[in-house]
Structure 1
């Protein structure tokens, strides 16, 4: 049968998008699937979408797109169908009404699923005659305004079923809004099996994930983590996600003096490689309709600390078995639960193992079966489409990129610093044709390609310590010109490779000499986390970090090679001063006391020097006087490169932060500003006049930031 999901946008990132894709991908094994995206606001979706799924964008809102409808006359008029009290009402218009109506008038869908209240209304009004119409509730009954619930009543009476994601919320809907003609039931969200190995729980990172919004109560988590750090300063917290609360939360982090312990990581997709870097997962939401992040963390082997909010967490977590439930809004209880798991490694591991077992009930196959049973009970698919996807059998598999060869791979950064790359689609491509190889090419050129042959099982290993010039390297799969396919007798069964060049039909080998981008399904960076621990004493830096390069998700490598390097550590603020700690890496032992050398950008030749002190054999600590930096300010925005002279007879080396898994640190490691007085001519006279006129003192912000190469820069900027 044909199943159509109607979603606000499939091009962003969020729980509704993720769970829709999970369910759609599982159903695509037996059905024809389309996702109708009301809006398209970017060229490429942030989540990977199974090529078997057809995506139909209706209203393009990209400013520079030739198809942009932002200025369409109908888009300037408010919607006549979309509920007025829906949170997204202002984004919908007569144009969206028309586009959705036109799409479904020409559709032969057997099932139409609306994924938010306004889209449930659209589905109820515009679904093809005879189609089963299902509304999904991804929030909760009590989350919606009474006016919206009343507005939705007439639409909900027209749908065949309303599906909530928790039994608790389904019970509230049945009690508060009985719908005589509409079935109300609960089917949980689905979470696929992770593409990476579970966490070994040996690290010291706590991970949280979700939209940066008020209902997630991250301010409670930050307050709780201050108590954790006071007792266990070696632990850190990573928060994955984006949202409107980012800057407010960053200020809260700085207020609690946690800039060295709490990082806002931004959006992470896929999320599994981020969960497995952690040893504990945490959620402090005020309310959750389900709690996808909880299940994701559990599937990756993490015990979970969560607030016992309505409705999802208490249905997902078995308190004391695979996680701990704590009262909503109680920072001390959150902290105590985290400390309990930090201090009891055996309990942490027991709960982590239970989490993997118990979360299997949310596997997409189990959830898709519940939907398939519902479709059958409601009479879907009886006339238009067979359950196997149509008269010609299942929907066709993924189409490759140009040239007929579209490899997809997983990459793992191993603990010893090596990388393992494994082709996952086409499956075992290297086994089908001899000579397939991994080619790493430096972005911008300037270095020879690094070439590695794939083994028969489709994997390749880049040994630790292999030479990669500093910079970014893009990974490709190449079928060399001199190689030929093996003879039929030597081929693994089935003889045809699992990819094809154009449309249905027998597959053909890739063209000789073809080089194509190697797309990363997942990149497990755990081995890069401990790069500092495996360094050879007296050696410099040779660090290689794999990552997915936006927006095409190509596998890429970031290489740092420095014979001598000053690795930045913690940064503290004290009044108008900044305190920088770090260590010197290289073959030369530091001699005497170190000094920090600041060199002004712009080729002026200006330098500022601040004396430091040694900490142990290779550590350093330097106090940067913000008032002195402000006194030397020449423009509204000054920038000074940060260098360290670690011995009197040595040239200074750049100070940066390299030895971890974060490829670009500028927006992740953010330190507080030191405020200094603005120095100007006739300063004494200006101060007197300012007091007479009761004007505010002019100040400048002095702060340390990481730029693109992850080197430190001191910025002096007018406030």
Structure 2
């Protein structure tokens, strides 16, 4: 929706907005998480009225939230503006669409150049407070989107090794102090599903390593197809933390990172990342 109508009405209301194709915005994210957007203004929107609008994609039963960013002219580029989303405010976790607002309309924006070099092999932040991650990506119809994660504590999955009927995972704790008695919990998806606990160990770099014997996920009789989600349990009384991979430039890892499978008692078993970049294990039922 535009501010006062549909996307089609909003676009038509701005003279020249589609004469040279869709609005295209370039963007970048630095190592601190500052998000910068640049784009050329269409006819009908003046420099002084142009704003970049971030609109959340609401879940069922929720209302969309808008965050408005002021724009400034780009030096030496007449008609081109820049908007900046600093580290604060911390956006809610989810997907945010980038739009251009002005003159009473909010126009969709296509994704142009995305400079995400600062996010590659990102070093975990050491500052206090929740972890906030922002990764721009091209969504449906190439619209510029911003994927946001906000975690009070985080366990960053690293290398995965699938061999000899076991999955070994290396990970790093971010904003979570290692405590005696910490464990890894595997919980089968679904109400009242079984759970499996694994004891981690510390590696030479200060990270954690744990190994899941995959046969343990097939102990239920009869074994069946299932999805197992992985959590970090800092202590017996602390809230569990989803094990994920967030600290790089991949917004939707499920479509990009595809791992090989191994066979355990006739089942195909393999790790994968969910649509939220959380680490899980899939167990497929035997053929026939």
TM-score range, shorter chain: 0.7 to 0.9
SS at 1:412's partner residue? Answer: strand
Query: For 1:600, which of 185, 188, 212 is the aligned residue?
Result: 188
The list of structure 1 runs, each at least 4 consecutive aligned residues, that deviate by more than 6 angstroms after superposition, is none
1:456 to 73, 86, 92: 73
Q: Which whole-Å CA distance do the structure 1 matches of 2:68 and 2:199 have between them?
A: 46
Match for residue 119 of structure 2 among 520, 524, 528: 528
- Find the counterpart in structure 1 of residue 96 from structure 2: 473
1:513 aligned onto 2:104: yes
Q: Is the Cα–Cα contact under 8 Å of residues 29 and 35 in structure 2 kept in the other structure?
A: yes
Q: Distance in 1 between matches of 2:155 and 2:222?
A: 28
The partner residue of 2:13 within 383, 403, 406 is 403
Higher helix share: 1
Alignment partner of 2:132 out of 521, 534, 542: 542
Q: How does 1:182-581 map to 2 (within 5 A)?
A: 401-404=11-14, 406=17, 407-424=23-40, 426=42, 432-444=46-58, 446=63, 448-457=65-74, 458-479=81-102, 512-530=103-121, 532-533=122-123, 535-537=125-127, 539-550=129-140, 552-581=141-170
SS at match of 2:119: helix
1:12-36 Cα offsets, whole Å, 9 max, x none, are xxxxxxxxxxxxxxxxxxxxxxxxx
* Consecutive unaligned residues in structure 1, runs of 5 or more: 1-399, 480-511, 678-698
Question: For 1:614 and 1:446, how far apart are their aligned partners in 2?
Answer: 43
Aligned partners of 1:534 and 1:590: how far apart in 2? 15
Which structure has more relative contact order (CA 8 Å, sep 6+)? It is: 2
Q: How many residues align?
A: 262
Aligned to 1:713: 280
> Take 2:116 and 2:232, find their aligned partners in 1: how far apart are those partners?
29
SS of the equivalent of 1:629 reads helix
Cα distance between partner residues in 1 of 2:214 and 2:41:
54
In 1, the alpha carbon distance for the partners of 2:270 and 2:181 equals: 24
Instruction: Classify 1:590/1:442 alpha carbon distance in 2 versus 1 (closer, same or farther; 3 Å).
Output: same
Structure 1 residues 649, 615: closer, same or farther in 2, change over 3 A?
farther
Q: 1:593: how far off?
A: 4.8
- 2:78 aligns with none
Aligned residue in 1 for 2:5: none
Is the 2:267–2:285 Cα contact (8 Å) retained in structure 1?
Answer: yes
Partners of 1:591 and 1:442 in 2: CA distance: 36
Seen in structure 2, the aligned counterparts of structure 1 residues 425 and 513 have a Cα distance that, compared at 3 Å, is closer
Q: 2:214 matched to which residue of 1?
A: 626
Alignment of 1:7-156 (within 5 A): none
TM-score (norm 2): 0.82
Change (3 A) 1:633 1:420: farther
Bigger radius of gyration, 1 or 2? 1
SS at match of 2:253: coil
Q: Does structure 1 retain, via aligned residues, the 8 Å contact 2:97–2:145?
A: yes
Unaligned runs of 5+ in 2: 1-9, 18-22, 75-80
The structure carrying a bigger strand percent of its residues is 2
Rounded to whole Å, the distance in 2 between the matches of 1:701 and 1:609 is 21
